[in-house]
Amino acid sequence: MKKMLFTLLVLMASVTGIQAQSLYKTVYDKATAVINNPASSDEEIQINQFKVTALNYITMMVQKRGLKKDSYFYDSQAVNMQSFITDFQVNLEKARKISPAKRLEILKIYTDACKFNPMFKDTDKERVNCYVDDKRTLTPFCLDTDWEKAYDQATTLSKAALK
């Protein structure tokens, strides 16, 4: 389903003549707009600040390591991160309605998906540590995440957990 959605988004982008990295830029620009909007809630700002930070991290690491990545890579990471965060919020709310234990199970599924699917295997503890629940963050995720793999893993496990 996710791959079909991504393919559809890429197709729509090519049909409308949007340039390379358009999905990445769209996610980045929308997150930045929420951060800069005085009407945004603290929760919206926190979630979107994480998105901007994660996308900046990806760009920085690609440049720092001299990697050659195409627009598909950036677009895929941005769309999967966006979907990952949205699904996390939805599934966490569903789990909360079931039980506190189910909520913790979903939280663990998503944080583990980030932790066990690193993109760059970065060793800088400031960037690789997941933002765990003790900080009461709305986005308890690692910056060093392969969002496509993490999304696939979290989607599969959370569907099974919420049955």
Rounded CA separation 143/61 (Å)? 11
Asked whether residue 1 is assigned to any structural domain, the reply reads: no
Q: Hey, what are 145's tokens?
A: 């995440």
pLDDT at 29 over 90: yes
Asked whether residue 154 is assigned to any structural domain, the reply reads: yes
pLDDT at 14 over 70: no
What is the residue range of 127's domain? 21-161
pLDDT at 7 over 70: no
Asked whether residue 107 is assigned to any structural domain, the reply reads: yes
Rounded CA separation 96/160 (Å)? 16
Asked whether residue 25 is assigned to any structural domain, the reply reads: yes
Asked whether residue 15 is assigned to any structural domain, the reply reads: no
N-terminal to C-terminal alpha carbon distance within the chain: 18
Buried b (16+ CB within 10 A) or exposed e, 122-135: beeeeebebbeeee
The count of domains in the chain is 1
What is the maximum span of the chain, computed from C-alpha positions, in angstroms?
47
pLDDT at 108 over 90: yes
